[in-house]
Amino acid sequence: MRQAHVTSLPPVSSGDAELVQRAIARDEAAIRAIMQANNRRLFRLARGILRNDNEAEDVVQDAYVRAFTHLDQFRGDSSLSTWLSRIAINEALGRVRSRRSSVEWSELPKGSLEAQIIQFPLSSMDDPEKSMAQREIQHVVEHAIDELPEAFRLVFITRVIEGMNVEETADILGLKPETVKTRLHRARTMLRDNVERKIGPIVMEAFPFAGRRCERLTEAVLKRLGAAA
């Protein structure tokens, strides 16, 4: 089952309806198909709220259990993916509310911010310095996304990272389309400012000129000058 990005939100598709009926009957293949089509989206939405890989995974599992045990309540007013997304968001928000009295978000362990939200192309093995610089920049971007206020972070993840259109984002998050557009603009501004501020200390390392590249250039110049051994 493919996720289709459309300009409006149609009622449930025939494919969704068939999968739902089969899943209600505990058809393993149908359940697997539903999960495989929605795993990435639900994880990213949950992680956008929780900012913790392990908790997000737990929430997605809980959301699926809740959804599959109440699948007969799915009416098809929106897509199955949208319905599942709302359940995952509610599960994640519930977990935040339950822990808010004892643990502040700012106190989360540093190691919990490791999901690879934005993938950079793999660098060639002969340029480890460039690869290291890319990883540092990637971490800066990931942490900057994590530090966006929740309302803006969810819109950014839904619209930019998951590629949902304005209408679907508004439906999932319970917002007006105009609010989605405004929050996305604000999120991009905050993210750009945050990244620019944090990237300053490492920007000089982003394009390293040392190691093998430096050696190659040195040898090439010496050779052209007739001074190479």
Average pLDDT, consecutive stretches of 10 residues, N- to C-terminus, the chain (229 residues)? 40 71 91 91 91 90 91 88 93 84 44 36 49 72 89 92 91 94 94 81 50 65 65
**Confidence at residue 139, expressed as pLDDT on a 0 to 100 scale:** 80
**Confidence at residue 115, expressed as pLDDT on a 0 to 100 scale:** 36
Q: Which domain holds residue 191?
A: 124-229
Residue 115 inside a domain? The answer is no
46: Cβ contacts below 8 Å, ≥ 6 apart = 55, 56, 57, 59, 60, 63, 88, 89, 91, 92
Residue 114 inside a domain? The answer is no
94 and 178 inside one domain: no
Residue found under tokens 């058809």? 27
**Confidence at residue 125, expressed as pLDDT on a 0 to 100 scale:** 47
pTM comes to: 0.64
Please count the other Cβ atoms lying within 10 Å of the Cβ belonging to residue 179. Answer: 16
**Confidence at residue 220, expressed as pLDDT on a 0 to 100 scale:** 73
- Structural domains of the chain, count: 2
Of 76, 107, 138, the domain-final residue: 107
Residue 2 inside a domain? The answer is no
Identity at 58, one-letter amino acid code: D
101 and 134 inside one domain: no
**Confidence at residue 184, expressed as pLDDT on a 0 to 100 scale:** 95
**Contact call for residues 42 and 85 (beta carbons, < 8 A):** yes
**Confidence at residue 99, expressed as pLDDT on a 0 to 100 scale:** 74
**Confidence at residue 200, expressed as pLDDT on a 0 to 100 scale:** 64
User: If you count DSSP H runs as helices and E runs as strands, how many of each does the chain have, helices first?
Assistant: 9, 0
Of 75, 107, 139, the domain-final residue: 107
89 and 137 inside one domain: no
**Confidence at residue 97, expressed as pLDDT on a 0 to 100 scale:** 83
Residue 3 inside a domain? The answer is no
